[in-house]
Amino acid sequence: MGVTRIGHVALRVMDIAASVNHYTKVVGMDVTHRDSDGTTYLKCWDEWDKYSVVLKPSDRAQLDHIAYKVENDADLDVLGKRVADAGVAVSKHAAGELTFCGRSISFMLPSGQRMYLFAQKDFLGKDVGVMNPDPWPDSRHGIGAHWLDHCLILGELNPEKGINRVADCHDFLKGALDFRLTEQGMVGPNHSVMAAAFLTRTVKPHDIAIVGAPTNGFHHLSFFLDGWHDILHAGDILSKNRVKIELLPSRHGITRGETIYFFDPNGIRNETFGGLGYAAHPDMPVITWVEEEMARGIFYTAREWVDSFSSAYTAV
Ligand SMILES: [Fe+2]
């Protein structure tokens, strides 16, 4: 019971045509529906639900919401009560309010992002089907992302004022929604301040991450690839399409993921994330990274801090 995985990320974008072109031609997703106002729904070839990314036309680049799927419809009642008991206001939405989904609930995370929980979304199936499937479809294109893997959100961190939305969000996700902490970044006196938290509901190293920042925000959405060769191939696709790359093919110390950071046409950060890193079983001990080793934790290969990583992010 409970949260099973990430469901989708909904983004407000300024140039819908350029954005759709990026997520289809570059990332390798397919459009599965368009609303009359231009709102566009996309899925990856290895996903089965109708969409994992929503692009909404807007006059600004902004996170609209993140959504996670729960196992059973009844979980929405159980988790909704636990969220309310944690002192967080819960909105209930009838089937269809979250497009192509059954009933849902939503609430604001302590770090200011709206999170939806839903149990059912229209089913399309993987492009390779389920009957004696090939390992990948002939329709694979661009980077050929398998699936939306995780997102990283930002929480205001100002210890002098006693504000730590990273710790608040960690406590909430763990306490109300049963996420498990896999890795943490600790800063300040005696490394006592939680500045980063990586949490999972599966055996992946993370299904969501929260990192400290001057203000709440949205950092990136990440797409899964098999491994290092696919990451390098993704770099080729990005360069062919003149996409702005922030971090060249590299490895994270945290999660051990192989990675590239790049930006969509709205300046919203994307990641391609290769490999499953390790199996984060429920009894796995929590991994800790301290402030002095944080550059190595995030940018393991170069061990040098990339300034834009902590200064360029999307409003919520
Ligand atoms: Fe990531």
What pLDDT, on a 0 to 100 scale, did the predictor assign at position 201? 98
What pLDDT, on a 0 to 100 scale, did the predictor assign at position 310? 87
What pLDDT, on a 0 to 100 scale, did the predictor assign at position 62? 97
72 found inside a domain: yes
How many angstroms does the Cα of residue 198 sit away from the middle of ligand 1?
Answer: 10
Q: Which of 197, 167, 223 is closest to 29 using CA atoms?
A: 223
At residue 138, the 3 state secondary structure works out as coil
Q: Does residue 168 contact residue 87 with C-beta atoms inside 8 Å?
A: no
Asked if 98 and 178 sit in the same domain, the reply is no
How many angstroms does the Cα of residue 147 sit away from the middle of ligand 1?
Answer: 13
What pLDDT, on a 0 to 100 scale, did the predictor assign at position 143? 98
127 found inside a domain: no
Q: Which of 47, 13, 15, 14 is closest to 30 using CA atoms?
A: 47
How many angstroms does the Cα of residue 298 sit away from the middle of ligand 1?
Answer: 10
**Which secondary-structure segment (H or E) carries 272?**
strand 269-274
Provide the number of structural domains found in the chain: 2
283 found inside a domain: yes
Among 72, 102, 118, the domain-final residue is 118
Please tell me whether the overall predicted TM-score, pTM, comes out greater than 0.95 for this model: yes
141 found inside a domain: no
Asked if 172 and 297 sit in the same domain, the reply is yes
Asked if 168 and 283 sit in the same domain, the reply is yes
What pLDDT, on a 0 to 100 scale, did the predictor assign at position 5? 98
91-93 vs 163-164, strand pairing mode: unpaired
96 found inside a domain: yes
278 found inside a domain: yes
Q: For the domain that residue 84 is a member of, what is the CATH number?
A: 3.10.180.10
Q: Does residue 149 contact residue 273 with C-beta atoms inside 8 Å?
A: yes
Alpha helices (H) in the chain, listed in sequence order:
16-21, 75-85, 165-177, 228-240, 294-298, 307-311
What pLDDT, on a 0 to 100 scale, did the predictor assign at position 97? 97
Within the chain, which residues score under 70 in pLDDT?
A: none
Asked if 246 and 101 sit in the same domain, the reply is no
| Domain limits for position 21 | 3-118
Active site residues: 150, 206, 220, 252, 261, 271
139 found inside a domain: no
265 found inside a domain: yes
Asked if 181 and 268 sit in the same domain, the reply is yes
Asked if 107 and 156 sit in the same domain, the reply is no
How many angstroms does the Cα of residue 173 sit away from the middle of ligand 1?
Answer: 18
How many angstroms does the Cα of residue 96 sit away from the middle of ligand 1?
Answer: 30
Cα dihedral 129, 135, 140, 145 sign = positive
Asked if 160 and 252 sit in the same domain, the reply is yes
Q: Does residue 103 contact residue 76 with C-beta atoms inside 8 Å?
A: yes
Q: Does residue 315 contact residue 268 with C-beta atoms inside 8 Å?
A: no
Asked if 41 and 98 sit in the same domain, the reply is yes
Could you list the beta-strand ranges (E) of 96-145. Answer: 104-108, 114-118
Asked if 160 and 100 sit in the same domain, the reply is no
How many angstroms does the Cα of residue 150 sit away from the middle of ligand 1?
Answer: 6
Cα separation of 293 and 225, whole Å?
27
Asked if 166 and 285 sit in the same domain, the reply is yes
What would the pLDDT profile of 128-171 be if each residue is shown by its tens digit? 999 999 999 999 999 999 999 999 999 999 999 999 999 999 99
